[in-house]
């Protein structure tokens, strides 16, 4: 074997072989990591329409036959939009299995939905990680409305986030 070839083999082993071994180690150790629970996807909303309609901003949502939440998740943070709801997305955060989000509706939608000004819709919920499909249980409330009772809701994930492979 020539000196050049020997040097090449040594360099290749050090610069390519060793890092690949390192990669194997990284992949093995990474398996023990825990990522935030997945809430990404579309969730069908189940709630009492009468109580929902009693909330400011709730009439439009209550009148929708297939009210749903759409959640786009990035780690612990997510954006949430309500089907037939305000044309702006709420931002929220996950803490374990609890999630909180708040949304300030756009002015035109607030006017149309009879929200009044300066309203903020808040959502607090807990994910049941063992349910299949996953479900959420929590409350919807509207800030700056002391007389409004928060409305309980349940939501079931209809579109799983990982329809992996379907483009």
Partner 1 sequence: MPDLFKLVLQISVILALCRIVGTIFRKIGQPRVVGEMFAGILLGPSLLGWMAPGISAYLFPASSLGFLNALSQIGVVVFMFLVGLGINPQELKEHGHAAVLTSHVSITAPFVLAAFLALYLYPKLSDDSVAFTSFALFMGAAMSITAFPVLARILAERDLLGSRLGTVAIACAAVDDVTGWCILAYIVVLIRTAHSSTSIWVTIGGIVAFALIMIYGVSHLLRHFETVYRERGHLSENLLALMLLLVLVSALCTEWLGIHLLFGSFLMGAIMPKEQRFVRYVLDRFETITVTLLLPLFFAFTGLRTDIGLVKGQEMWMYCGLIILVATVGKLGGSMVASWLSGMPVREAAGLGTLMNTRGLMELVILNIGLDIKVISPALFSMMVLMALFTTFMTTPVLALVCPDRFLREAPNKVPTQDTAIGALASPDKISA
| Exposure string over 35-45, b if 16+ CB within 10 A, otherwise e | ebbbbebbbbb
* Chosen residue from 46, 72, 102, 141 binding partner 1 by CB under 8 A: 72
Nearer to partner 1, 19 or 149 (CB): 19
* Chosen residue from 48, 63, 77, 107 binding partner 1 by CB under 8 A: 77
The radius of gyration of the chain from alpha carbons, rounded to an integer in Å, stands at 24
Concatenating the DSSP letter of every residue in 20-59 gives HHHHHHHHHHHTT--PPPP--EEEEEEE-HHHHHHSTTHH
167 lies in the binding site for partner 1 (CB under 8 A): yes
DSSP one-letter code for 151:
E
131 lies in the binding site for partner 1 (CB under 8 A): no
163 lies in the binding site for partner 1 (CB under 8 A): yes
* Chosen residue from 30, 65, 117, 132 binding partner 1 by CB under 8 A: 30
Site of interaction with partner 1 (CB under 8 A)? 4-5, 8, 11-12, 15-16, 19-20, 22-23, 26-27, 29-31, 33-40, 72-77, 79, 87-88, 106, 160-165, 167
């Amino acid at each position: 074997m020539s000196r050049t070839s020997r040097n090449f083999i040594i360099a290749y082993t050090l610069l390519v072989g060793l890092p690949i071994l390192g990669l194997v180690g990284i992949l093995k150790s990474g398996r023990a990591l825990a990522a935030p629970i997945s809430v990404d996807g579309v969730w069908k909303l189940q709630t009492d329409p009468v109580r929902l309609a009693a909330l400011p901003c709730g009439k439009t949502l209550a009148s929708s036959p297939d009210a749903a939440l759409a959640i786009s998740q990035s780690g612990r943070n997510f954006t949430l939009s309500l089907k037939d709801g305000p044309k702006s997305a709420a931002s929220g955060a996950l803490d374990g299995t609890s999630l909180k989000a708040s949304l300030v509706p756009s002015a035109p939608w607030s006017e149309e939905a009879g929200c009044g000004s300066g309203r903020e819709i808040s959502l607090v919920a807990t994910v049941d990680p063992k349910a299949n499909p996953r479900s959420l249980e929590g409350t919807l409330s509207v800030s700056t409305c002391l007389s409004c009772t928060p409305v309980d809701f349940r939501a079931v994930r209809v579109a799983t986030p990982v329809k992996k492979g379907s483009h």
